[in-house]
């Protein structure tokens, strides 16, 4: 006989962890990356990822915590549990602050036509109650420490104010985008659909505390990538925030326009024939590249391959790329000159 309660508990467990501190990783399972105290050699990590075309799926969550800056590379294994507790406390205070100001936005408003998402919202709220109960059962020492960290976060954030109209507009767009995000991925199927509500909270919290960036279409796809890999609301928020420190300008028209200009100049230098062909076909505005540059080819490849490409692109190992390109050019010139009998000019 089926147990409805068992199915419900299974659904609740399938949602990403939210606010409870969990043990931090002690080591990255990659050779020569971490010293005995747990510090990460960031240069070696990036080189390893680039040369190996990414990392294995089982290594990805641990590696991304450093690759995208959630943990400082010079932090030790003993320091990271405290860093993690601070991130948990601060995120919790941030989320509660906007929820207090916008109580009507705490719940995703649905029109009832998406039965699966309606059910996911129901289970999501049950999960919130479950989390509160679990938090109350933590050891007293942990609860006292978390309370102190939350108090510190409240003092730090007490002067933060929200532009009501702008944040309401951001929430409106988020609520439009989130239900359509990556629903074909295994992570969001069936009982995992509640993770869309986790994604929503992350995006609203980010928009609320980064008003200069707020929210733009496409951020949901990027943030979802972190959530699928890290499976943690807090870690996703901080990793996504660190990523956006370097790439938020891409979501502004002038930033993306500048990136396309650089791409066109690079293509003209590396492949003038292709560049000339695009100009001839009136494609020199490179509008077809917008999504590639904004989402890192997320929709152009299978999910697993897109994750590998995303982490390789994040390595910023341009000097190694340049050396390999120059070596390939040298080999090409060598073959051409051998064919024509000319002497190769090495200068």
Instruction: Name the residue with higher pLDDT: 133 or 303.
Output: 303
Predicted confidence band of residue 10 (pLDDT cuts 50, 70, 90): very low
Model confidence pLDDT, tens digit, residues 288-301: 887 887 888 888 88
The more confidently predicted of residues 23 and 59 is: 59
Name the more confident of 296 and 155.
Answer: 155
Residue 44 counted as domain residue: no
Which pLDDT value is given to residue 127? 80
Q: Which residues span the domain enclosing 118?
A: 8-24+77-249
CB-based contacts of 141-149 (< 8 A; 24+ apart in sequence): 142/21, 145/85, 146/21, 146/85, 146/88, 146/89, 149/85, 149/86, 149/88, 149/89, 149/90
The alpha carbon of 250 is separated from its chain's Cα centroid by a whole number of angstroms, namely 15
- 166 and 100, same structural domain? yes
Give the pLDDT of residue 8. Answer: 44
Which among 249, 275, 309 is the end of a domain?
249
Q: How far is CA 24 from CA 84, 291, 297, in A?
A: 7, 35, 31
* pLDDT at residue 6 tops 60: no
The per-residue pLDDT for 9 is 42
318 is a domain residue: yes
For the chain, give the mean pLDDT: 85
Which of 38-47, 105-114, 311-320: highest mean pLDDT? 38-47
Dig out the tokens for 139 from the structure: 């050891």
Residue 282, number of CB atoms within 10 A of its CB: 7
Cα separation of 79 and 84, whole Å? 9
280 and 242 belong to one structural domain: no
1 within domain boundaries: no
Taking the CA atoms of residue 200, residue 203, residue 206 and residue 211 in that order, the dihedral angle to the nearest 10 degrees is: -110
Q: What does pTM read for this prediction?
A: 0.83
- 200-252 pLDDT, tens digit each: 999 999 999 999 999 998 999 999 999 999 999 999 999 999 999 988 888 88
Question: Tens digits of per-residue pLDDT, 262-279?
Answer: 888 888 888 889 989 989
Residue where one domain finishes, among candidates 249, 269, 296: 249
Q: How many domains does the chain have?
A: 2
Residue 71 lies in a domain: no
Q: Look at residues 196, 216, 249 and tell me which one is the last residue of a structural domain.
A: 249
């Amino acid at each position: 006989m089926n147990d409805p309660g068992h199915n419900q508990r299974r659904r609740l467990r399938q949602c990403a962890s939210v606010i409870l501190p969990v043990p931090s990783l002690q080591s990255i399972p990659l050779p020569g990356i971490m010293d005995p105290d747990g510090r990460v050699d960031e240069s070696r990590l990036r080189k390893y990822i680039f040369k190996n075309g990414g990392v294995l799926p089982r290594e990805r969550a641990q590696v991304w915590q450093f690759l995208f800056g959630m943990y400082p590379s010079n932090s030790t294994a003993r320091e990271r549990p405290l860093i993690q507790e601070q991130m948990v406390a601060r995120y919790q205070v941030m989320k509660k602050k906007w929820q207090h100001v916008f109580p009507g936005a705490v719940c995703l408003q649905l029109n009832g036509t998406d039965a699966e998402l309606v059910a996911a919202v129901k289970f999501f709220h049950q999960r919130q109650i479950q989390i509160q109960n679990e938090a109350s059962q933590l050891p007293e020492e942990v609860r006292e420490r978390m309370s102190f960290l939350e108090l510190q976060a409240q003092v730090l954030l007490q002067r933060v104010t929200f532009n009501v109209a702008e944040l309401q507009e951001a929430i409106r767009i988020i609520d439009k985008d989130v239900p359509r995000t990556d629903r074909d991925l295994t992570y969001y199927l069936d009982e995992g659909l509640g993770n869309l509500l986790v994604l929503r909270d992350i995006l609203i919290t980010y928009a609320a505390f980064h008003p200069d960036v707020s929210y733009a279409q496409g951020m949901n796809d990027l943030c979802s990538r972190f959530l699928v890999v890290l499976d943690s609301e807090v870690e996703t928020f901080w990793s996504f925030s660190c990523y956006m420190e370097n790439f938020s300008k891409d979501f502004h028209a002038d930033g993306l326009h500048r990136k396309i200009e650089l791409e066109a100049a690079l293509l003209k230098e590396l492949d003038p024939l292709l560049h000339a062909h695009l100009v001839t076909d009136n494609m020199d505005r490179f509008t077809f590249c917008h999504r590639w540059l904004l989402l890192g080819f997320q929709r152009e490849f299978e999910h697993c391959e897109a994750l590998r490409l995303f982490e390789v692109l994040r390595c910023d190992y341009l000097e190694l790329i340049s050396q390999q390109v120059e070596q390939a050019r040298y080999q090409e010139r060598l073959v051409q000159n051998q064919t024509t009998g000319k002497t190769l000019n090495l200068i």
